[in-house]
Structure 1
Amino acid sequence: MEINQVENILKDNEYLFSFLDIKILKIENGYCEIMIPFKKEFTRLGNILHGGIIMTLLDYAGAMAVLSINKRRNQVTQELKINFLEPMKDGPFYSKGEVIKSNDDVAIVSIEFYDSKGKLGAKALGTWYMK
């Protein structure tokens, strides 16, 4: 599936995707890169990106990496473990997901979150059930 197709499907069906203004930079063969801009609405005290926004981007990057290999109709996040490593304030922000193991029903994804300077802000490991 092409980047434009995936973006259009998500923009039409998921308000959160549009609200966050997510841009898909790359999606292919178990790998995905996405980006969001810095917006004041995404911050907490101290003008730092809210952890819930980071978690959401990690989830989207992992899900789209799985989508690129999923031969079924749908998938759901089964588990998402996150380590927040640094406060993030320099946008835009990037997340990269890579499927590291999969079978017919389950995919395991390694996901990272970076600021515009390349600083690693969070690292996650997720499991997706493909149905």
Structure 2
Amino acid sequence: MHNQPNDPKSTATPNKAAGPAQPNTPKPGGNYQAKGDEKPPVVAQSVPPIPGVDAIKLDWPKQVNAARSTWGKLSEEELRQSDGQPSKLATLVQERYSVTRQEADKQVNSFLETCNKQ
């Protein structure tokens, strides 16, 4: 006797029409269904765009000295590698000066706005 697809003893693979199992992801509307000890995903806060940031990026090598004067605990190499990107600068400031992300963002935004005016 051969096993039929509807036979409970069948070793045939289940019907794939149901699709693959969905990962544990946030549902539309923000309803997160955590299983076990899982934590909801961390959502990064974005730094509001600053007018002229692209221009600052082009002039960033010239601005490194000013940034170094502002944040002496940051090395020239770290500042160069940040490429003038607000989020990278804020992370460096936050880590090196042990300030909140909000304070680091505020300092970086102020610095970049000053650079933009020059």
TM-score, normalised on structure 1? 0.28
Q: Would you tell me which structure has more helix in proportion to its own residues?
A: 2
Greater RCO between the two (CA within 8 Å, min separation 6)?
1
Q: Report which of the two structures shows the higher radius of gyration computed on alpha carbons.
A: 2
